[in-house]
């Protein structure tokens, strides 16, 4: 395991330059040295792990919350990228509803065309395809892209940027909708993204994307949403600001209950659509909560230290009592928790998961073994740390027998507690 790096390490710069406005980004929390959150390596590969400094700050110019250091995109999004968007029933339902909403509101012309950035295994575009609507997914991770193709979804294996958009526009014509889910916050080069969207959208078209919301992270202490792939943590104010820099306007926002709290942002070229009252309302709410103030975000940092200390104390106490404990859900988020808190196999002997590509491998950095969720009952542990807390209802329903036999779930957001 990598040594802990203090959030007050004087050898590390507390300031960087904003990728959007070139303003000063001031650090409000430093998780120190972290592994790639989705690098589930084998025992033989673990010494080859890539590490980086995970620190997050606020731009004093445009108020965009962002990481101070960038991980090369090819290291995160590659052929063997293990996350599958269709892995959760709840998310399958969410993306199906999203597709139906777009079909009913935006994809209604004589020959509509929808492009999805970061289409993963095609769970959303599959519904668009079944409706007979022209579509294209742009997905850099070859493994999940191939899964989408097997289901008949058109996919371009590539990173989306301005040059990609020009090629798509030349081959397929303009798009009515460019959509992305849990993707735009991954991409540091928003300038190229928005120039590409401008190239690709037809007049009157919309750019719709949904990502984790800083307001929910601050309110619920869901600090594990901060990891390598989440370069930006958006607010309505910061999204409106970056949109205006590239000739767009934020015309609508919608709060979503998925993944612990997200916002769906709708952008259109300036002057092409009316701005919904929901936009100024959410921005006013953010101002009242101080989400663009460093002091507010530093309070989030204090909560992170408290939660990690409480979680370690609970696990150590259960170990002293001789109780068996495991983790549930080998999520990308859990890498932030286990590595910053210093939780390894001595406190958490294994983590159970349903993703075949992760089984038999190790949790990033911590080296905790990952076992198949089908083995969770052989035998059940006394306690299980619920890392996949964003799927709590679905998991508790699937593993109802665990609680029926006296098992206890441990959660750590918004605070450490036993359910």
- Grade residue 257 by pLDDT with cuts at 50, 70 and 90: very high
| Domain end call among 289, 308, 343 | 289
Domain range enclosing 178: 85-289
User: Do 108 and 24 share a structural domain?
Assistant: no
Q: Does residue 315 form part of some domain? A: no
User: Do 284 and 211 share a structural domain?
Assistant: yes
Q: Does residue 239 form part of some domain? A: yes
User: Do 182 and 89 share a structural domain?
Assistant: yes
**In the predicted structure, residue 191 carries a pLDDT above the cut 90:** yes
Integer-rounded Cα radius of gyration of the chain: 21
User: Do 251 and 185 share a structural domain?
Assistant: yes
| Domain end call among 272, 289, 306 | 289
User: Do 207 and 172 share a structural domain?
Assistant: yes
- Grade residue 3 by pLDDT with cuts at 50, 70 and 90: very low
Count of other CB atoms within 10 angstroms of residue 418: 10
Give the global pTM: 0.94
User: Do 106 and 62 share a structural domain?
Assistant: no
Q: Does residue 142 form part of some domain? A: yes
Q: Does residue 312 form part of some domain? A: no
Average pLDDT for residues 130-153, to the nearest whole number?
Answer: 97
User: Do 188 and 97 share a structural domain?
Assistant: yes
- Grade residue 8 by pLDDT with cuts at 50, 70 and 90: very low
Q: Does residue 77 form part of some domain? A: no
Q: Does residue 335 form part of some domain? A: yes
User: Do 94 and 62 share a structural domain?
Assistant: no
User: Do 234 and 93 share a structural domain?
Assistant: yes
Query: What is the structure's pLDDT at 19?
Result: 93
User: Do 181 and 104 share a structural domain?
Assistant: yes
Beta strand segments in 93-241, E: 113-117, 134-138, 155-156, 175-181, 201-212, 232-233
Q: 260-303 pLDDT, tens per residue? A: 999 999 999 999 999 999 999 999 999 999 999 999 999 999 99
Q: Does residue 337 form part of some domain? A: yes
**In the predicted structure, residue 215 carries a pLDDT above the cut 80:** yes
- Grade residue 2 by pLDDT with cuts at 50, 70 and 90: very low
- CATH number, domain at 332? 3.40.50.720
| Domain end call among 271, 289, 307 | 289
Q: What is d(CA 215, CA 285) in angstroms, rounded to the nearest whole number?
A: 9
**pLDDT more than 70, % of the chain:** 97
User: Do 387 and 275 share a structural domain?
Assistant: no
Let me know how long the chain is.
Answer: 419
Average pLDDT for residues 43-62, to the nearest whole number?
Answer: 95
Q: Does residue 213 form part of some domain? A: yes
Q: 344-365 pLDDT, tens per residue? A: 999 999 999 999 999 999 999 9
Average pLDDT for residues 78-92, to the nearest whole number?
Answer: 91
Which has the higher per-residue pLDDT, 381 or 302?
Answer: 381
**In the predicted structure, residue 252 carries a pLDDT above the cut 70:** yes
Lowest mean pLDDT among 6-20, 92-106, 167-181, 263-277: 6-20
User: Do 222 and 91 share a structural domain?
Assistant: yes
- Grade residue 10 by pLDDT with cuts at 50, 70 and 90: very low
- CATH number, domain at 249? 3.40.50.150
Lowest mean pLDDT among 9-18, 182-191, 363-372: 9-18
**pLDDT more than 90, % of the chain:** 94
Query: What is the structure's pLDDT at 31?
Result: 97
Contacts 24+ apart (CB under 8 A), 244-252: 244/270, 245/20, 245/21, 245/194, 246/191, 246/194, 246/195, 246/198, 247/198, 248/194, 248/197, 248/198, 248/207, 249/273, 249/275, 250/275, 250/279, 251/206, 251/275, 251/276, 251/279, 252/276, 252/278, 252/279
Domain count within the chain: 2
Query: What is the structure's pLDDT at 13?
Result: 85
DSSP one-letter string for 286-328: HHHHTTT-HHHHHHHHHHHHHHHHHHHHHHHHHHHTT--EEEE
Q: 165-189 pLDDT, tens per residue? A: 999 999 999 999 999 999 999 999 9
């Amino acid at each position: 395991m990598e040594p802990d790096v203090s959030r007050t390490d004087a050898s590390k710069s507390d300031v960087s330059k904003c990728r959007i406005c070139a303003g000063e980004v001031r650090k409000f929390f430093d998780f120190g040295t972290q592994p790639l959150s989705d690098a589930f390596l084998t025992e033989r590969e673990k010494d080859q792990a890539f590490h980086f400094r995970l620190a997050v700050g606020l731009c004093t110019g445009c108020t965009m919350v962002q990481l101070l250091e960038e991980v090369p995109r090819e290291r995160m999004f590659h052929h063997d990228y293990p996350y599958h968007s269709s892995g959760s029933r709840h998310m399958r339902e969410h993306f199906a509803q999203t597709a139906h909403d777009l079909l009913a509101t935006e994809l209604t012309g004589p020959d509509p065309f929808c492009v999805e950035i970061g289409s993963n295994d095609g769970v959303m575009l599959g519904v668009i395809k079944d409706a007979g609507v022209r579509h294209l997914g742009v997905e850099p991770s070859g493994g999940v892209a191939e899964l989408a193709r097997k289901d008949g979804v058109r996919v371009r294996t590539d990173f989306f940027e301005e040059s990609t958009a020009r090629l798509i526009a030349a081959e397929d014509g303009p798009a009515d909708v460019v959509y992305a889910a849990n993707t735009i916050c991954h991409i540091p080069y928003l300038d190229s993204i928005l120039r590409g969207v401008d190239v690709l959208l037809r007049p009157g078209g919309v750019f719709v994307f949904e990502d984790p919301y800083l307001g929910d992270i601050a309110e619920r202490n869901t600090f594990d949403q901060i990891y390598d792939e989440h370069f930006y943590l958006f607010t309505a104010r910061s999204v409106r600001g970056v949109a205006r820099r590239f000739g767009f306007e934020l015309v609508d926002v919608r709060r979503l209950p998925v993944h612990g709290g997200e916002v769906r942002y709708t952008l259109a070229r300036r002057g092409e659509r009316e701005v919904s009252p929901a936009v100024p309302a959410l921005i006013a709410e953010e101002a009242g909560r101080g989400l663009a103030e460093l002091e507010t975000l530093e309070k989030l940092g204090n909560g992170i230290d408290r939660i990690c200390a409480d979680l370690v104390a609970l696990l150590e106490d259960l170990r002293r009592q001789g109780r068996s404990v495991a983790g549930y859900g080998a999520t990308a988020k859990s890498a932030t928790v286990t590595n910053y808190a210093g939780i390894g196999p001595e406190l958490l002997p294994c983590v159970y998961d349903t993703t075949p590509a992760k089984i038999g491998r190790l949790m990033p950095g911590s080296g905790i073994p990952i076992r198949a969720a089908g083995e969770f009952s052989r035998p059940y542990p006394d306690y299980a740390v619920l890392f996949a807390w964003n799927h709590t209802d679905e998991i508790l329903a699937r593993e109802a027998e665990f609680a029926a036999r006296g098992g206890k779930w441990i959660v750590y957001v918004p605070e450490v507690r036993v359910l």
